[in-house]
Amino acid sequence: MPLSTWLKAGTTAAALVLATATAVSAAPAPAPESSVSGAAAVVTLRYDDSRAGGWEAAIAAGVASWNANVDNVKLVEAAPGVRAEIVIVATTGWPQATLGPVRPGRQVRVELGSQAVSQGYDKTRIAAHELGHSLGLPDTKPGPCTQLMSGSSAGTSCVNAVPNATEQARVESAYANGAALKVPTDGRMLVDMP
């Protein structure tokens, strides 16, 4: 067989191999399987309690209460130097907080006032209540102890720090599918005094 025939056959074979390889590599890759298929989006909000000396245990308990009772928003402690959405400080006045729902990247303030503690109110209930404001819940005064957002109107004997089903549903609704990303915060400071 002459050399030119071998070259033609070799060139044709190389072109065929190249065309086949290109077609195979151009085929779409299979879609990756999702380990959270069907799961709702969870909004993570960071809190900074570095200026809330004396309230650490109450804040941890309030955060744990919210995290245990709502599914689509989670509160986590901000690492040092990381900007938090919820800034928590200890003050000498009455507890107060910015009404949310706070959005990731935005910021609200919670003031945990010692005046309420000196009046006999429970620190954990105060912390959980004020965090509820950050998550978009207004006061429901007057109200029973079973309503976390009834705040001081439930009296000093009330130590309930767990949001009821209605309060849980309102927070779930505010953060449904990451919706808090679109809902502006009210921006008002709500002062929780009797």
Q: Which of 111, 130, 167, 172 is catalytic?
A: 130
Q: Is 172 a catalytic residue?
A: no
CA separation for the pair 37, 52 (Å, rounded): 39
CA distance 110 to 159: 19
Per the DSSP assignment, residues forming a β-bridge with 43 are: 73
Q: Are strands 96-98 and 189-191 parallel, antiparallel or unpaired?
A: antiparallel
Residues tagged active-site: 130
